[in-house]
Amino acid sequence: MATPTPLDQDERLRWVERISRLLDSQFQVPGTTWRFGLDPLMGLIPVVGGLPSLALSGVLILTMLRHGASGSLVMRMVLNVVLDAVIGAIPVLGNLFDFAYKANDRNVRLLRAHYAEGRYQGSGKGLLIGVAVVLLALGGALVWGAWKLGGALYQLLEQAF
């Protein structure tokens, strides 16, 4: 028999697991093994649909942090939620992504691995620095692309008039 983890023993962490399931895998399509939760359904509401799910995911991560999740683990969880929120914000593609990605279920699996196997130890500073570098590079590429696009549009307008 497996050794019980804090996730199994602590009521607040069982709450995390229940809410994660509600958001990501509560319902099953009859005749299939495919599951989904409220997260992708809320995402169907234009503009604000992802906000309640994002807020609940944040509360879940904070609860896990208060119950022993390492900095490295929390960084991975935050990346899961941010990826879910960013791609989920893209019309149509984001809705399909929301039905498949299940960030909260992923985070509960990460927490279980952390408790059971001691995985994802450390502060997460290396991961944070890596993410910051990638975001800065993407931001720089966006600025450069906007500058080039603006220049091309300016030349088109200049030639037209």
pLDDT in tens, 88-105: 888 888 889 989 999 999
> DSSP code of 91?
T
pLDDT in tens, 40-90: 898 888 777 888 888 888 888 888 888 878 888 888 888 898 899 888 888
Is the distance from CB of 124 to CB of 73 less than 8 angstroms? yes
Distance CA 112, CA 118 (A): 9
Asked whether the whole model's pTM tops 0.85, one would answer no
Cβ contacts of residue 73 below 8 Å, gap of 6+? 64, 110, 111, 114, 119, 120, 124
Tokens matching residue 59: 């509360």
What count of other Cβ atoms lies within 10 Å of the Cβ of residue 104?
Answer: 28
